[in-house]
Amino acid sequence: MDSILRIEGLSHRYSSSWAVRDINMEISQNGITGLLGSNGAGKSTTMNIICGVLNQTEGSVLVNGFDIRVQPELAKKQIGFLPQNPPLYTDLTIDEYLTYCAELRFIEKSKIKAAVTEVKERCGIAHFSSRLIHNLSGGYRQRVGIAQAIIHKPKLVVLDEPTNGLDPNQLIEARKLIKEIALDHAVLLSSHILTEIHLLCKEIVMIEGGRIVFADSMDAFDNYVQPNSLIVKMENPPATEELLKIQGITKIEVLTYKEIRVYFDGDEEITERLVAASLQHKWQLREISLEKSLLDDIFKQLSGTQTY
């Protein structure tokens, strides 16, 4: 199957410093791919190059087989882009603005009205058709921004920090809309918020310092840092010194009278040793649960890894 997006050896330099360096990635099907990184990591630069807003210093970007630098018009027809600051003309109504966007996208004149109607319904803004955009809430402005990005039914939809500045209710609605769009589009979604990427994406590419430090599934990202602690509940817990005698245990943290956190060195047999010791010394073990690494911990560890 042909790739919807293929990036090879992408690098870009501002003056004497490299904003991104040797970026390689591929999207070959519909769904949401997350582009994760801290502020200033190179996410927006990468997205601007993908969408033809910026000419890269080195490397190539192919969108549905078209090179964005060699065949920019054909490549851009395959892309819908919502930058961090939505490109809205706030003195226009929703209908006027989306009609203008449809014309910019070379949609046939006879099909523009139907395209505008369809995208308004899809983005849940049809009931505000005649309202000026500057009179809309932040959440609805974001919906109009997404509508302009998909009105021409592109293969690739690029969303740069699409949930920034939204309140909790608007966040829920925006996430739902993005998931619906991903059913029949490939979506590349940028964010510096770990939980946002975690809730929306199945695949993830993480950029730090302009380089890719991780590229895999969200499941693999969650499991990247191996858990190194257990929550242990006992009816008759021993003294800390007794637990530290068990091979593999490195630290004990008392949470309550009957609940402790056990840190260990990664030894897979640690639970068996705890069970055996409990039976031997009658600690009355009730529960052992493995603690999953926090997203923030994973982010910190990956930020310090070697690039590949």
Query: Side chain identity at 82, as an amino acid letter?
Result: L
**60 lies in some domain:** yes
- 63 and 121 share one domain: yes
227 vs 24: CA distance, rounded Å: 29
Domain membership flag for residue 165: yes
What span, in angstroms and rounded, lies between the C-alpha atoms of 131 and 126?
A: 10
- Residues 10-41 have pLDDT tens digits of 999 998 899 999 999 999 889 999 998 888 88
Q: Give, to the nearest 10 degrees, the angle between helix 138-150 and helix 94-104.
A: 30
Amino acid 153: pLDDT: 96
pLDDT by residue (tens digit) across 187-208? 999 988 887 888 899 899 999 8
pLDDT above 90: residue 291: no
pLDDT higher for 303 or 90?
Answer: 90
Q: Could you report the per-residue pLDDT of 91-127, keeping only the tens digit for each?
A: 999 999 999 999 999 999 999 999 999 999 999 999 9
The CATH number of the domain holding residue 238 is: 3.30.70
Six-digit token string for 250? 């490195």
Give the range of the structural domain holding residue 57, as residue numbers without chain letter: 5-222
Number of domain units in the chain: 2
Note the pLDDT tens digit of each residue in 210-251: 999 899 998 888 776 556 788 999 999 999 999 999 999 999
The pLDDT of residue 292: 61
Does residue 180 belong to any structural domain of this protein?
yes
Q: Are residues 140 and 284 both part of a single domain?
A: no
Same domain, yes or no: 180 and 125: yes
Do 206 and 46 contact (CB within 8 A), yes or no?
A: no
Q: How far is CA 147 from the centre of its chain?
A: 20
The pTM assigned to this predicted structure is 0.76
| Count of Cβ atoms closer than 10 Å to residue 302 Cβ | 17
Same domain, 206 and 249: no
Closest CA to 229 of 258, 247, 253: 253
Tokens of 221: 């990202």
Give the model's confidence band at 307: pLDDT under 50 very low, under 70 low, under 90 confident, else very high: very low
pLDDT band per the 50, 70, 90 thresholds, residue 308: very low
Q: Which residues does residue 189 pair with via DSSP β-bridges, in sequence order? A: 34, 159
Q: What integer pLDDT is reported at residue 224 of this predicted model?
A: 66
Confidence of residue 303 (pLDDT cuts 50, 70, 90): low
Higher pLDDT, residue 303 or 281: 281
